[in-house]
Structure 1
Amino acid sequence: MKKNWLGIIFIAAVFIGVAGYYGQVYVKAHNIRVELTAVNSLSQADQDRITVSPKDSTVQREWYGGEWAHKVTFHHTETESLGELIVYIGMDRETILGEENTK
């Protein structure tokens, strides 16, 4: 009788482990990078200011418009009249809250 219970417990533990592993893989695969969300929200003219890569940016958590947001600052996007390009993304990593330049 003990062997049956041990077998059932072992199978249940394996099932829970496999389900947990695939759940983590699914979440990681569908976790959108904040930088890519920010780039996709920009106009073509602003996208052209990013000469290297969207990864050449800094992401910080900041209070913006009455809520917490991801502040994505793209480096090397300065022009003579505009500073670095900044995009504010909601904590859900999808909602665009605003855009500005440092100058």
Structure 2
Amino acid sequence: MNKTTALASIGAAAMLFGLLLLAVPQWFIGGTRDVPVELVAFDGLSDEEKDRIIASPKDSDIRIVSVNGPLVSLLGDTHAGKEAYEVTFHHTETVGTGPLVVYVDKDGKTVLGKQTANPIQ
């Protein structure tokens, strides 16, 4: 692991620890806190994919998409015709791939699938 990768991993770990500290007080005072969709999507990534997110999972775009066409083959027939959140993480492109894209059920809790978008030409 080179120095840049190590620093990025340490930064990501520190950020996640900070987010955890924000959530813990809610448990102690009996409140409930919904997890933001981008963090649900982030949690659905592999360690290698998480390492591609340099700044924060919040550095992403979220939009609602209809599960039709090619998305049905990715997410499954049970989701055909339904809506899902599409979370696109910025600055996660690699050579030959576009950014990481994760699909989250409209319940905001379940990762349905993921892919890399088409590379930017």
Q: TM-score, normalised by structure 2?
A: 0.60
Q: After the TM superposition, list the runs of 4 or more consecutive aligned residues in structure 1 that deviate by more than 6 angstroms.
A: none
Greater strand share, 1 or 2?
1
Please say which structure displays the higher CA radius of gyration: 1
Structure 1 residue 81 displacement after superposition: 1.8
Query: What is the one-letter code of the residue matched to 2:100?
Result: L
The structure 2 residue matched to 1:68, chosen from 66, 83, 93, is 83
Structure 1 residue 59 displacement after superposition: 0.3
Give the structure 2 partner of residue 37 of structure 1. Answer: 40
Give the structure 2 partner of residue 86 of structure 1. Answer: 101
Give the structure 1 partner of residue 60 of structure 2. Answer: 57
Q: Which runs of 5+ in 1 are unaligned?
A: 1-25
Query: What is the one-letter code of the residue matched to 2:86?
Result: K
Q: Which runs of 5+ in 2 are unaligned?
A: 1-30, 73-79
Give the structure 2 partner of residue 5 of structure 1. Answer: none
1:14-40 CA-partner distances (Å, limit 9, x unpaired): xxxxxxxxxxxx4xx421100000011
Aligned residues: 77
Q: Does 1:98 align with 2:113?
A: yes
RMSD (CA atoms): 1.4
SS in 1 for 2:64: strand
Structure 1 residue 89 displacement after superposition: 0.0
Structure 1 residue 96 displacement after superposition: 1.1
State the identity %.
41
Higher RCO (CA-CA < 8 Å; seq separation 6+): 2
